[in-house]
Amino acid sequence: MKKIKGVQLSVLKKVLKYIKPYKGYCAITILLAVFSVLSALFLPILTGDAVDLVKKLADGGEYVEEVWVGYASSAFWDDFSSILFKMGMVILAGALAQWLMTLCNNKIVFLVTQAVRKKAFRNIQRLPLSYLDRTSSGDMVSRMIADVDQFADGLLLGFTQLFTGVITIIGTLFFMFYENALIALVVFVVTPLSLFVASFIARKTYGMFKLQTQTRGEQTALINEMITNQKVVQSFNREDKVIEQFDEINDRLGKCSLRATFFSSLVNPSTRVVNNIVYAGVALTGGLSVIRGGLTVGQLTIFLSYANQYTKPFNEISGVVTELQNALACADRVFSIIEAEPEKPDAADAKELQDAKGIVELNDVSFSYVPEKKLIENLNLKVNPGQRIAIVGPTGCGKTTLINLIMRFYDVNSGEISVDGTPIKKLTRHSLRKNYGMVLQDTWLKKGTIRDNIIVGKPDATDEEIIEAAKKSHAHSFIRRLPNGYDTVIAEDGGSLSGGQKQLLCITRVMLSLPPMLILDEATSSIDTRTELKIRKAFDTMMEGRTSFVVAHRLSTIKNADVILVMKDGHVIEQGNHITLLNQGGFYANLYNSQFSA
């Protein structure tokens, strides 16, 4: 319990840091809340005056008929209409203050949530791939969207009702003690019971709300995964299994949501019981005081109204406290993204890699994703400018990992990788990656036009350059057949484009920017054989004079490589050109012959 309370306090402090820049709005909100409460507290006084006025009229009419008629026709209506006018002005002023306060509260909440989302999204861009590899993308989306929305709702409710409620309680107590200390004391003594009940239940619900948000994130992750891979699910007839998995998570979400809602819903009726005791105490004490002549009927009306106003904020605040438990639980998940350890920043003296020659060296490089499972160990390699390096080997041998290390998506555990004689840790990541062009087996296209997707690496490219690059990659013909050509809007991940067309666009992207070093990781895996032959010729032209790393499973595609690295279990076990390696009759020869044994 102490641990949960400590987490809540820690999260609340973080939230207050985001609210701090808008303290001006907070001050205005508090002033408007004070004004709104004062108008609400002044209204019962006017109501009491009106009641006493009517009582006075009734007393006069009961004994002297002339006084009733005379008073009612002149002075009474003047006084009564004056009270009504004041009540109208007070109501309008209070409503205006409430409206302005709501505007300020909305401004604070949406500025805060905007800042939280902005910071969380920016930190995602700086997170290492290792973090993204172990965190579900659906869960990340749930934190950024659903959890921030829940946090905003709780914060808005807190600003809307918390300030007003607290000021109402303080103001009502002050007026009640001023009018009659005995009745006010009755109210004050019973108050802690209501606070204790609300606090006790609120502490119990935080853990439940946190479990609810975690389960909701798990559900979002599954939905995202299934929508993205629906073809695979249907191909392997996994629909029923996926539905079972969804139902299991959905049942857990329903149960933990029900528990959280059930316990949080106890707050309001529990505090209402205490509040009714307060109201009954005021009515009883005030009624006896009226009988003894200590209060007028109008003053009793004021006290009953104040008792109602005094107890009402406790119901509202109890609801706010419950919502805040949910909001803080959601905020905690969002802050976990913001506070996640970002990718190590570039060294203070990091250089810009410009006009790279393409000399890449790996000296005693060792790397593993998890310490207990070794992958790459003591790898040494030197690539001269303009060389074409093919990397082959069985699945899981470390081919793609080697590419990740060269691009510095991951840092080596030991050893050193250098470009043009400078260790890549002493180069800025931006300049290093800018000098590489990548075409991967997995394509990535964003929502936008065909042109937008091609110019990612060269935003200032002209139409002539774009078309020329598309012709070299053999993408121009299919782009021209699209409804609006290069201005055709495609959905996220290419929409209705075929896998081969998506890959052609990614190849066009590299053809356009033409950096000094290239990485082709199964770049033609989704393209038909005829088009592949054409693109291979385009690649040959593109790779001329450029250091190129080619990851391939089809060994026929890398016969012309200057150097072929044969990897197995994280080690380069053979090295040479195609003919040399075949003549050696080793692991490469076995791989090659197995593909062409027919």
For residue 103, being part of any structural domain is answered with no
pTM: 0.64
Cα distances from 283 to residues 171, 187, 278, 293, 307, in angstroms, run 20, 11, 9, 15, 9
The reply to whether 161 falls in a domain is: yes
Pairing relationship of beta strands 376-383 and 414-419 according to DSSP bridges? unpaired
Select from 466, 483, 514 the last residue of a domain.
514
Which 8-state DSSP code applies to residue 373?
Answer: B
Instruction: Judge whether 328 lies within some domain.
Output: yes
CATH code (residue 510): 3.40.50.300
- Domain end (from 338, 361, 384): 338
589 plus 530 within the same structural domain? yes
Alpha-helix runs per DSSP H in 514-586: 529-543, 578-584
**Beta strand 414-419 pairing with 422-423:** antiparallel
Structural domain ending residue among the three candidates 294, 312, 338: 338
The rounded distance, in Å, linking the Cα atoms of 320 and 467 is: 59
- Which whole number is the average pLDDT over 237-242? 79
Residue 367 has pLDDT above 70, yes or no: yes
Whether residue 540 is found in the same domain as residue 528? yes
Q: Are residues 375 and 492 in the same domain?
A: no
452 and 569: one domain?
A: no
Mean pLDDT of the 289-309 span: 72
Give the residue-averaged pLDDT of 27-32.
Answer: 86
Q: Considering only 78-87, 200-209, 385-394, which range has the smallest mean pLDDT?
A: 200-209
Does residue 146 form part of some domain?
yes
Confidence at 418, pLDDT banded by 50, 70, 90: very high
pLDDT band at 591 (very low <50, low <70, confident <90, very high): confident
403 versus 314: the higher-pLDDT residue is 403
Mean pLDDT of the chain: 79
One domain for residues 455 and 507? yes
Residues 301 and 160 in one domain: yes
How confident is residue 337, by pLDDT bands cut at 50, 70 and 90?
A: confident
Q: Is the pLDDT of residue 68 over 50?
A: no
395 and 471 fall within a common domain: no
The pair phi, psi for residue 416, each rounded to 5°, is -155, 140
* Residues 446 and 492 sit within 8 Å (Cβ to Cβ): yes
Question: Does any domain span residue 158?
Answer: yes
Per-residue model confidence (pLDDT) at position 236: 67
393-397, 485-489, 524-528: least confident range:
524-528
Distance CA 307, CA 283 (A): 9
* 557 within domain boundaries: yes
Q: What is the pLDDT of residue 12?
A: 78
Could you report the per-residue pLDDT of 515-565, keeping only the tens digit for each? 888 888 876 766 677 777 777 777 777 788 888 888 877 776 777 788 888
Position 72 pLDDT exceeds 60? no
- Same domain for 139 and 271: yes
Same-domain status, 509 and 377: no
Beta pairing partners, 382: 361
The count of domains in the chain is 3
Report the 10 Å Cβ neighbour count for 291: 9
Is it the case that residue 119 has pLDDT exceeding 60?
Answer: yes
Query: Do residues 308 and 203 both lie within one domain?
Result: yes
Residue 502's pLDDT is 83
The residue behind tokens 């896998």 is 499
Tracing tokens 């195609």 back to the chain, one arrives at 578
Higher pLDDT pick, 363 / 228: 363
Which of the four pLDDT bands, split at 50, 70 and 90, describes residue 206?
low
Here the tokens at position 545 are 């004079």
pLDDT at 229 over 60: yes
In percent, the amount of the chain with pLDDT more than 70 equals: 83
- Decide if 88 is inside a domain: no
pLDDT at 171: 79
Residue 380 inside a domain? The answer is yes
pLDDT band for 284, please (50, 70, 90 cuts).
Answer: confident
Q: Does pLDDT of 507 surpass 50?
A: yes
Hunting for tokens 């609006």 — which residue is that? 484
Predicted pLDDT at 64? 42
For residue 451, the enclosing domain spans 442-514
Is the distance from CB of 336 to CB of 86 less than 8 angstroms?
A: no
With a pLDDT cut of 90, the percent of the chain lying above it is: 1
Q: Quote the CA–CA distance of 301 and 307 in Å, as a whole number.
A: 10
Residues 206 and 311 in one domain: yes
595 shares a domain with 554: yes
CA distance linking residue 243 with residue 217, whole number of Å: 17
What CATH number has the domain bearing residue 137?
1.20.1560.10
Report the 10 Å Cβ neighbour count for 254.
Answer: 12
